[in-house]
């Protein structure tokens, strides 16, 4: 990675980020803590800032507070457009290296924010949880986990860490809206690479991979592995506290329609949302960890 391409972004970020964080913390005066996220897209077309006064960063996509400073957008877009050797539409070593380079620049800028910025707004540095991730894409979980460790001090409370399921404990689903539940389960149950340790994690992983391929990649990578994932999906619904036969038949129809759409090069937001909702519903009624099914797909 040619890090000289990142110099302009590095300089402007170090210079202007303290003022933006000051604005955010000024709105948080009187709160006990604040979480601040740097959110980008799957192809890294800039960042926007979002924040909340809770410690549940798994629900960042529902936060209402946002800022879109130009220095977090155009300089990053310029870098992307200058990296013609990287396929930003698909996961790769080069794409992940690019992500890590951006995170290292954000880390440097965050750690150079003067203590006075925090103190004048009634905080200590360790009261604020910084993180970065994608709104959707290849490295949502990876960027979240890595950035939490990179951006924050050792004194940041452990209650604000990203929680990953141990593969054994009961799986609890937050009482919130469906999209937030899906993202919570994805972050907790789906590993950085490979299949999940539990049936609950794997059914969420399948739904998320299918949704990402349809809605983010436009089906460009559609192949037999995705068909195999959709074919095995209804089989999970027979496990544990199983769905009734009518609901399983509906799920089988849903996966058939998705396979047909994929084969025809069509995308369908409604079908993808229904698949994710189905996965969440099955996990909700199966809190005890179950072994995943054997499968012959590699994605």
Give the pLDDT confidence of 147-156 residue by residue, as tens digits. 988 898 766 6
Given the structure tokens 């995170």, which residue do they identify? 103
185 and 277 Cβ atoms separated by less than 8 Å? no
55 pLDDT exceeds 50?
Answer: yes
**What region does 44 belong to: left with phi over 0, alpha with psi -120 to 50, or beta?**
left
Residues in the chain: 299
- Same domain assignment for residues 127 and 42: yes
Using alpha carbons only, give the angle 213, 215, 221 rounded to the nearest 5 degrees.
25
295 part of a folded domain:
no
- Same domain assignment for residues 13 and 132: yes
Which residues contact residue 16 at a Cβ distance below 8 angstroms, ignoring those fewer than 6 apart?
A: 69, 71
Give the pLDDT confidence of 155-212 residue by residue, as tens digits. 665 434 455 677 888 888 877 788 888 888 887 888 766 789 999 999 999 999 999 8
- Same domain assignment for residues 129 and 200: no
Last residue of a domain, one of 132, 160, 188: 160
The whole-number pLDDT of residue 163 equals: 56
Query: Per residue, what are the HEC states of 197-234?
Result: CCHHHHHHHHHHHHHHHHHCCCCCCCCHHHHHHHHHHH
Last residue of a domain, one of 104, 132, 160: 160
- Same domain assignment for residues 41 and 153: yes
Mean pLDDT of the chain: 90
Per DSSP, the three-state class of 83 is coil
State residue 216 phi and psi, 5-degree precision. -100, -35
72 part of a folded domain:
yes
Q: How would residue 255 be classed by pLDDT, with cut points 50, 70 and 90? A: very high
Which residues contact residue 119 at a Cβ distance below 8 angstroms, ignoring those fewer than 6 apart?
A: none
296 part of a folded domain:
no
First to last CA, the chain: 26
- Same domain assignment for residues 275 and 206: yes
Furthest-apart CA atoms within the chain: distance in Å:
62
- Same domain assignment for residues 74 and 191: no
The whole-number pLDDT of residue 159 equals: 38
60 part of a folded domain:
yes
- Same domain assignment for residues 116 and 230: no
- Same domain assignment for residues 147 and 198: no
- Same domain assignment for residues 184 and 59: no
Strand partners, 281: none
The whole-number pLDDT of residue 188 equals: 84
Which residues contact residue 245 at a Cβ distance below 8 angstroms, ignoring those fewer than 6 apart?
A: none
Tell me how far apart the alpha carbons of residues 143 and 121 are, in angstroms, rounded to a whole number.
Answer: 28
Which residues contact residue 154 at a Cβ distance below 8 angstroms, ignoring those fewer than 6 apart?
A: none
Query: CA–CA distance from 71 to each of 23, 59, 79, 240 (Å)?
Result: 15, 25, 12, 50
63 pLDDT exceeds 70?
Answer: yes
- Same domain assignment for residues 216 and 121: no
Tell me how far apart the alpha carbons of residues 187 and 63 are, in angstroms, rounded to a whole number.
Answer: 17
State residue 263 phi and psi, 5-degree precision. -65, -30
Other Cβ atoms less than 10 A from the Cβ of 69: the count is 18
86 pLDDT exceeds 90?
Answer: yes
248 pLDDT exceeds 90?
Answer: yes
Range name among 79-93, 185-199, 261-275 with the lowest pLDDT average: 185-199
Q: How many domains does the chain have?
A: 2
Q: What is the mean pLDDT of residues 26-42?
A: 92
The whole-number pLDDT of residue 193 equals: 65
- Can you give the residue range of the structural domain that contains 224? 178-284
15 part of a folded domain:
yes
């Amino acid at each position: 990675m040619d890090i000289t391409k990142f110099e302009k972004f590095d300089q402007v970020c170090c210079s202007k980020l303290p003022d933006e964080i000051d604005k955010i913390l000024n709105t948080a005066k009187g709160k006990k803590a604040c979480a601040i996220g740097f959110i980008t897209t799957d192809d890294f077309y800039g960042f926007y800032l979002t924040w909340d006064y809770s410690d549940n960063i798994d629900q960042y996509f529902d936060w209402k507070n946002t800022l879109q400073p130009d220095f977090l957008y155009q300089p990053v877009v310029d870098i992307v457009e200058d990296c013609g050797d990287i396929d930003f539409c698909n996961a790769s070593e080069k794409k992940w290296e690019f992500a890590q380079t951006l995170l290292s620049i954000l880390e440097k800028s965050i750690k150079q924010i003067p203590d006075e910025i925090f103190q004048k707004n009634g905080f200590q540095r360790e009261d604020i949880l910084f993180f970065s991730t994608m709104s959707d894409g290849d490295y949502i979980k990876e960027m979240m986990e890595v950035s939490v460790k990179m951006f924050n001090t050792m004194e940041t409370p452990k209650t604000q860490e990203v929680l990953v399921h141990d593969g054994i404990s009961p799986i609890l689903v937050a009482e919130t809206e469906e999209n937030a539940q899906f993202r919570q389960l994805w972050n907790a149950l789906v590993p950085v690479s490979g299949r999940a340790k539990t049936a609950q994690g794997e059914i969420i992983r399948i739904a998320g991979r299918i949704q990402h391929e349809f809605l983010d990649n436009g089906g460009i990578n559609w192949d037999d592995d995705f068909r195999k994932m959709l074919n095995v999906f209804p089989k999970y619904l027979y496990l544990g506290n199983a769905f009734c036969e009518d609901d399983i038949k509906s799920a089988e129809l849903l996966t058939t329609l998705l396979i047909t759409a994929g084969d025809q090069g069509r995308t369908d937001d409604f079908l993808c949302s229904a698949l994710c909702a189905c996965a969440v519903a099955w996990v909700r009624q199966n809190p005890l960890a179950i072994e995943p099914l054997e499968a012959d797909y590699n994605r």
